[in-house]
Structure 1
């Protein structure tokens, strides 16, 4: 082999500890922070990273993977034969159709655009269908290509500036709906493209609700990219709240709701940072905003409502790694008041995380089974649920191991 040949990256594999250190540094997390969130000592983290301690057991590896937002478990373990996507679900069969609709450049006016009111009505029905469906990605995958094309055409053929702004608000929300389909699928570039186009359309619309929704989703995308992007998530959230603030005195329910949803997002990010006081202060603000909504109101995009605040409290406690508090919040939350099947399933997953944190793995598995019954596609694409199930397939308790294996097969975790 010539001296200038590219070396084989697997000839001298990087050890687990080195991989952990690289990923931790990439996420902008210090050893003390990682140690605290794992419930380990700083010296333990240092010993693992320097190779004084070998690769830990699977339950600990999975907790490290969750903390560092590792997408593929082999990126952390180095074992290329056991590639497991933790925070990216499988590609949906309709993903190519949705991708094609987003990527298409159609400048010719080969048909008349449908009226904006017609597209808006279809969009409202699409949101309703998503909330009612157990397999909501299948429903959205069928509806989105036509909605995207028609919303784009409505903007392009607008006759006046006012009509164009209305069309842009609708187009922005169509992109928002698209993000619910694309999220956690194996095309992160498409997710960011949809998020950016949604934000551009929202800004062109000058509509506070559209801007709030686009910012709410963009903040989530930043936060899910890891701790190094928490500041970007906060900046997006705060700027949107600042813009919406002046509309709130006379706002309708949907604008009030998006303000409340953004307030909770600020609390969510604070909880991910480990800032307990700040996280609960934002939750209190969101809860006060929810109290302003009309009785029974449920925001179609964010699910923000008085009913969802209990579920949000569970999430804050879980992200703060407070096992006992998160279980208490889970017991207090009224899940029967959540009308959306995918949102209910997401809440069940958060409850399962709470029970897992509190050392109740059997209850965690039972709760994940309830999440699966509510909306199979939600748990199939959720990294936290996948982590818990995979961890419990290694349980020393045979009955629990078998239960976890059955659930793993149901959600497609064991698929080749």
Structure 2
């Protein structure tokens, strides 16, 4: 099937074969066959054979790996089997998502009816929101309850700012609200909204002219690009922002140096996604040096960058490089309990589970996901990698492993999707 005919068909509506659906979804993601093959551990010729029907539909583990790379909305979108209606990366949608989306989409042209909160009050509310995000096991629920009012008030503060300095400070606060919203909207069933929030956050950050805020906007934008496999765009944002921050670092405060460290980690993860082993670990070493320059107990409230998370980042670098043995070694070495943030600790556990699964240790992977669920259930519930591992092992040959995976799937609501 030609590229032109790929665009003419809709894999969500027509009764197409698995290979045809794969080709259409791959084309929409902007991936070549070689790129898709590399990301799932196969060759470009293997992908072509699947797409043209010369090879039959792969086994479930490979189907899930392809779904992971293509970020399909629902497993049935890739397989065509409506009995497999299981949401993967988009997630089922948080109960508070509709209210947050409504607040983000609302058009506020004039000033609000009430006086806007002063900058100090807005800053205090944001600080409380970040603390809640790191400490609450149901952090999405807590943040989702706070975001609608924060979005409205931060926008109002920008409109009513009386001086240039006040307006820049208000833009920095608004950007931070958008950063919080981007965390909440990740893995929710509206991918374009995540991009709109990321773009608004970057615009507000640039208007603030605050290096720390600009660095945070770049950090989140880089992740959004990499999740869509836009690796060149991810590098462009990361490296340009690092060039902007670098001259400031000798005299910069702790937060700016932490953001530079977080961006350096992102550069390493993008290199790892490309399979560039030496480059990925070089960036990790540079980030570790920045982390060691920070106070021992320091923990950045947005990026979580600190000495405590460098082991977690090492696990992710190894996993993205598809280095099974190395990723398992890093996973066994990294200390999750040293990470003070519940969602970041749970996400580290998920990365450890990915490492064990990649290394052929599915029982260890499931046990680690169970630990992640105990720390922050919502982090696991809305994470596509965790969902893929659990779904795959729910079809395992081992009865004990099937039972354990099925129990986790039930707790996540995966079996009722």
Range into which the TM-score falls when normalised by the shorter chain: over 0.9
CA contact (8 A) 2:11 2:24 kept: no
Q: Deviations over 1:142-179 (max 9, x none)?
A: 11111111211222211110111111111101110111
What is the alpha-carbon distance in structure 2 between the residues aligned to residue 11 and residue 271 of structure 1?
35
What is the alpha-carbon distance in structure 2 between the residues aligned to residue 11 and residue 189 of structure 1?
21
Matched, 1:52 2:72: no
Cα offset for 1:278?
1.3
Q: Which sections of structure 1, spanning at least 5 residues, go unmatched? A: 1-5
What is the alpha-carbon distance in structure 1 between the residues aligned to residue 250 and residue 295 of structure 2?
15
Matched, 1:349 2:316: no
The aligned counterpart of 1:186 is 189
The aligned counterpart of 2:259 is 258
Match of 1:195 among 198, 202, 205: 198
The aligned counterpart of 2:115 is 112
What is the alpha-carbon distance in structure 1 between the residues aligned to residue 131 and residue 399 of structure 2?
42
Give matches, 1:14-413, under 5 Å: 14-40=16-42, 43-106=45-108, 107-226=110-229, 229-413=230-414
Cα offset for 1:413?
0.8
Cα offset for 1:30?
4.0
**What SS does the aligned partner of 2:337 have?**
helix
Cα offset for 1:8?
10
What is the alpha-carbon distance in structure 1 between the residues aligned to residue 148 and residue 375 of structure 2?
26
What is the alpha-carbon distance in structure 2 between the residues aligned to residue 167 and residue 327 of structure 1?
45
Of stretches 294-303 and 62-71 in structure 1, the one that deviates more from structure 2 is 62-71
What is the alpha-carbon distance in structure 1 between the residues aligned to residue 294 and residue 184 of structure 2?
28
Q: Deviations over 1:65-87 (max 9, x none)?
A: 22333332222212234222211
Of stretches 133-142 and 269-278 in structure 1, the one that deviates more from structure 2 is 269-278
C-alpha distance 7-40 of structure 1, shift in aligned 2 (>3 A): closer
Q: Deviations over 1:30-60 (max 9, x none)?
A: 4444444434455543432221221122112
**What SS does the aligned partner of 2:308 have?**
coil
What is the alpha-carbon distance in structure 1 between the residues aligned to residue 103 and residue 47 of structure 2?
46
What is the alpha-carbon distance in structure 2 between the residues aligned to residue 309 and residue 191 of structure 1?
27
**What SS does the aligned partner of 2:198 have?**
helix
- Number of matched pairs: 409
The aligned counterpart of 2:3 is none
What is the alpha-carbon distance in structure 1 between the residues aligned to residue 392 and residue 174 of structure 2?
41
Task: Compute the TM-score of the two structures, normalised by the length of structure 1.
Answer: 0.94
What is the alpha-carbon distance in structure 2 between the residues aligned to residue 415 and residue 328 of structure 1?
35
What is the alpha-carbon distance in structure 1 between the residues aligned to residue 39 and residue 228 of structure 2?
18
Task: Compute the TM-score of the two structures, normalised by the length of structure 2.
Answer: 0.93
What is the alpha-carbon distance in structure 2 between the residues aligned to residue 80 and residue 329 of structure 1?
39
C-alpha distance 249-393 of structure 1, shift in aligned 2 (>3 A): same
**What SS does the aligned partner of 2:305 have?**
coil
Query: Cα RMSD over matched residues?
Result: 2.0
What is the alpha-carbon distance in structure 1 between the residues aligned to residue 244 and residue 401 of structure 2?
50
What is the alpha-carbon distance in structure 2 between the residues aligned to residue 33 and residue 140 of structure 1?
37
Cα offset for 1:189?
2.2
What is the alpha-carbon distance in structure 1 between the residues aligned to residue 81 and residue 374 of structure 2?
33
Cα offset for 1:11?
9.8
What is the alpha-carbon distance in structure 2 between the residues aligned to residue 116 and residue 333 of structure 1?
39
Of stretches 152-161 and 197-206 in structure 1, the one that deviates more from structure 2 is 152-161
